[in-house]
Amino acid sequence: MQPAVDGASPRHRPMYNARFALLAALAVCALVTASIARRHARAGAQQVPAAVLGHIPSFEMPDQHGTPVSDTTLRGQVLVVDFFFASCATSCPMLTAQMASVDKAVADREQKIGRRLSVHLVSITLDPENDTPEVLDRYAARYGADASRWSFLSGRSADLDRVVVGGFKTTFQRADPGAGIATIMHGEWLVLVDGDGGIRGYYAAGDPERMVGLVHDVLDLTGAS
């Protein structure tokens, strides 16, 4: 699904597995590195993502270690946010692998410039009944997630419409409530948020060029491009 602001209808993706998705994400990371090098080879003004499209909602959810994380504790950091659930075998491995590629690109940039960037990744589950902190901790470990930079959050089902739809302006639904959790449908987007909580863009996870653009925009917002 596209973000709710675009009004597009749901679409389906072919099956992904974690290994294939990680390989694809590593390829994107290589494209990012080459593109950053080309960008620095050219003179020009810094390009920060344009308009603020909205602001993230208030929320507080436990992360994969049971530690409360809220919009307030994340304030001041550039955020990359996605929505997934651990038992998903279709688009979620691809989404998480793309988040991992952003994490790696940021870490590579930090190593090059010799300082830590104020960037945090946030993955919010759409299946909080089943995705407990323990489940999310195991899921995070599969992708080598560094908890100091990447939080996997599990809130209350009652809050999902307010946070996901009303706040982040993206959509999800169960195609058939009687068919089980496997029928959750959701957008395949990574959301960029600035340090003031302003939503700065939606990036299609299946589009390598958009993933390259996302990393550029993250670095621009941190002043590290």
pLDDT of the chain, 225 residues: tens digit per residue: 446 544 333 333 444 455 544 555 554 454 444 444 444 433 344 566 678 999 999 999 999 999 999 999 999 999 999 999 999 888 899 999 999 999 999 999 999 999 999 999 999 999 999 999 999 999 999 999 999 999 999 999 889 889 998 999 997 776 555 555 456 777 899 999 999 999 999 999 999 999 999 999 999 999 987
200: its two tokens: 């700065």
Asked if 206 and 97 touch (Cβ cutoff 8 Å), the reply is no
Q: What is the pLDDT of residue 171?
A: 79
Q: What are the beta bridge partners of residue 152?
A: 123
Pick the closest to residue 223 from 194, 199, 201, 197 (CA basis): 194
The DSSP call for residue 178 is G
Pick the closest to residue 25 from 123, 83, 106, 104 (CA basis): 104
Domain boundaries, the chain: 14-41+52-175+183-222
Find the angle CA(52)-CA(55)-CA(56) to the nearest 5 degrees: 135
How many Å is the maximal CA-CA distance in the chain? 57
Q: Which positions ≥6 away from 43 have C-beta within 8 Å?
A: none
- Residue whose entry in the numeric block shows the structure tokens 């089943």: 130
Candidate CATH numbers 3.40.30.10, 3.20.20.410, 1.10.287.1080, 3.40.50.970; the one for domain 14-41+52-175+183-222:
3.40.30.10
- Residue whose entry in the numeric block shows the structure tokens 């974690």: 18
Asked if 152 and 64 touch (Cβ cutoff 8 Å), the reply is yes
Compute the distance between CA of residue 223 and CA of residue 225 in angstroms, rounded to an integer. Answer: 6
Q: Where are the alpha helices (DSSP H) in the chain?
A: 18-41, 71-74, 92-113, 133-142, 157-160, 208-222
Q: Sign (positive/negative) of CA torsion 103, 67, 17, 161? A: negative
Let me know how many helices (H) and strands (E) the chain has, helices first. 6, 10
pTM: 0.79
Q: Residue 80 phi/psi, 5° resolution?
A: -120, 120
Compute the distance between CA of residue 203 and CA of residue 79 in angstroms, rounded to an integer. Answer: 13
Q: What is the pLDDT of residue 149?
A: 97
